[in-house]
Every structure is written in structure tokens, then in C-alpha cells.
Amino acid sequence: MTIDTLLTPAELPALARRDLSGTACVVFDILRATSTFVTALHHGADAILPVCEIAEAVALRRRWPEVLLAGERDGVKIRAAQSGGVDFDFGNSPREFTPERVRGQTIVSTTTNGTRALRACAGAKTVLAASFLNLAATAEFLHNEKEIILVCAGTGENAAKEDFLAAGALVELLVPRLDARPVLWRAADAARQTFAHFKTDLASAIGSSENGQRLLALPELRDDVAFCAQRDLFNLVARLDADGKLRRI
């Protein structure tokens, strides 16, 4: 097994050009896209369709009026003024995606980093959306893979501490399960060591990140930080299917 790690959005265009036909890509956007998608799927959403642009989401709603729209820019729910007058049903807070609101629904989502990272992996053999909320189930699913790339979605153009910590936590879970010692490429090993350092107070470590600080400063979103720091609340794997939709497996 090889485990590689991408730290910033600047690495995504090169990823899209790589032959990923034998690779499992695991995307982390802990604050908050992948945490939110995992929560929505756990609460019964049928599928999440991640798209890069607000205009794409709006066009899909015109084509399929039954889909729900979700997404954020600068952390807050997309406003009608940003979407040509179309009201989005959700922002990107996992706590909005309750069973009552999502059961049986297909949700089109556009976020600043997370949905872009997922789309950049589209050519891979397997693409998973992972979070602390479903980390053990994700590790279990991956343990027979030969080649894994951990894709940290980042914050804006920067690396995100919380994504790096989650990547390290996944490496920590994968290593003892393997028959042969994995090749830990440098960044994956650094992520594992960083997670080992911070794991006793994960919520504080995540809260001290760039996006953690932004969310903590917004009274209606501050509780998202502690929510997304929870380990293994959900026993599910979220996989991107060939039709571009994330579903629970």
C-alpha cells in the first residue's frame, strides 16, 4: 500500500491529470463540506451531487426542480443575490441537514473548497468523502487498497489544519491493520505525527484553524466546530458514484 497526501487546492489540477484508475482518493473537508455530506447521508439523504459553481447548481435546479440546493461562500449560505435570485435550501452547516429535511432527497451542493476537491478526483477508481464523523468506517473500507491519496480540501488557497489532522488520524487507523508496512509518503507521515500530537484535544486544535476561527466568530455557526470534531458518530462510507453523486454504502 502507498499512502500519499495532498495538502492544498494548488495540487488539484495536477491530480486531475494523473492516472488514478488504480487509486482510492479520500477527500477531507472537515470544516465543513465532507462532514456535512456524511451527516446528510446518515440522516437519509438519497444522494449529494457536488458541483463547483453556483451557476451549475442553479442550472441543475432548473432541470430537476425537485432537487434541493445547498452551499456556502465565505462560510455562509449562498444568498439569492449571488445565485440570480434562486433561494438555496441549506447553507453548509451539518446541523441543518436533519432527518426531517433530507430524508429521500437529492441535494446539489456547491462549496468553496470541498466540492472542488471531490470533482478533481472524479477519474479515480474510488472516491470517498471522509470526516472525523465516519473515520473508522472509512478506514475499514480502505484496508485492502493498494494506492491511496488523501486529499485535503483546504481553506481558500491554503492548507487546512483540520483536514491535515483528519488525514493523520486515518493514517493512524490504517497502519496497524496492514500486513505489510505501508509506504508512508512524507506528508502522510507528517500528518500522522501531527495528529498524534493534537489528538487529546481535537476540538481545540480544529477550533484554532483558519476556518475554525471564522466559524467560531459566527454565533449561528460556532457549534459546527465541536460537531465536526466528533469521532465515529456515523457508521457509514460516503462514495462518489459514476454519475457524480455521493451515496452511502
Q: Does 109 bind ligand MLT (CB under 6 A)?
A: no
> Can you tell me whether residue 25 is helix, strand or coil?
strand
The footprint of ligand MLT on residues 166-225 (CB under 6 A) is 211
Question: How far apart are CB 241 and ligand MLT at their closest, in Å?
Answer: 20
Q: Does 75 bind ligand MLT (CB under 6 A)?
A: yes
- In sequence order, what DSSP letters do the residues of 34-66 get, joined into one string? HHHHHHHHHTT-SEEEE-S-HHHHHHHHHH-TT
Q: Single out the residue of 23, 105, 113, 131 in contact with ligand MLT (rule: CB under 6 A).
A: 113
Q: Is 30 exposed, middle or buried (0-12, 13-18, 19+ CB in 10 A)?
A: buried
Alpha helices in 69-185 (DSSP H): 99-102, 114-120, 135-142, 161-174
Q: Does 111 bind ligand MLT (CB under 6 A)?
A: yes
Q: Residue 42 has which C-alpha cell?
A: 446518515
When the beta carbons of 75 and 168 are compared against ligand MLT, the nearer one is 75
Number of residues that bind ligand MLT (CB under 6 A): 13
Upstream peptide bond of 32 is cis (omega within 30 degrees of 0): yes
Q: Single out the residue of 33, 191, 233, 238 in contact with ligand MLT (rule: CB under 6 A).
A: 33
Q: Does 120 bind ligand MLT (CB under 6 A)?
A: no
Q: Does 110 bind ligand MLT (CB under 6 A)?
A: no
**DSSP at 82:** G
Residue 181 CA to residue 34 CA, distance in Å, equals 29
Among all residues, whose Cβ is closest to ligand MLT? Answer: 111
> Can you tell me whether residue 124 is helix, strand or coil?
coil
When the beta carbons of 52 and 175 are compared against ligand MLT, the nearer one is 52
Helix axis angle, 186-198 to 161-174, nearest 10°: 100
Q: Are strands 2-6 and 183-184 parallel, antiparallel or unpaired?
A: parallel
When the beta carbons of 55 and 196 are compared against ligand MLT, the nearer one is 55
Q: Single out the residue of 5, 23, 83, 92 in contact with ligand MLT (rule: CB under 6 A).
A: 92
Q: Does 118 bind ligand MLT (CB under 6 A)?
A: no
Q: Does 162 bind ligand MLT (CB under 6 A)?
A: no
Q: Does 163 bind ligand MLT (CB under 6 A)?
A: no
Would you tell me which residues interact with ligand MLT (CB under 6 A)?
Answer: 29, 31-33, 72, 75, 92, 111-114, 153, 211
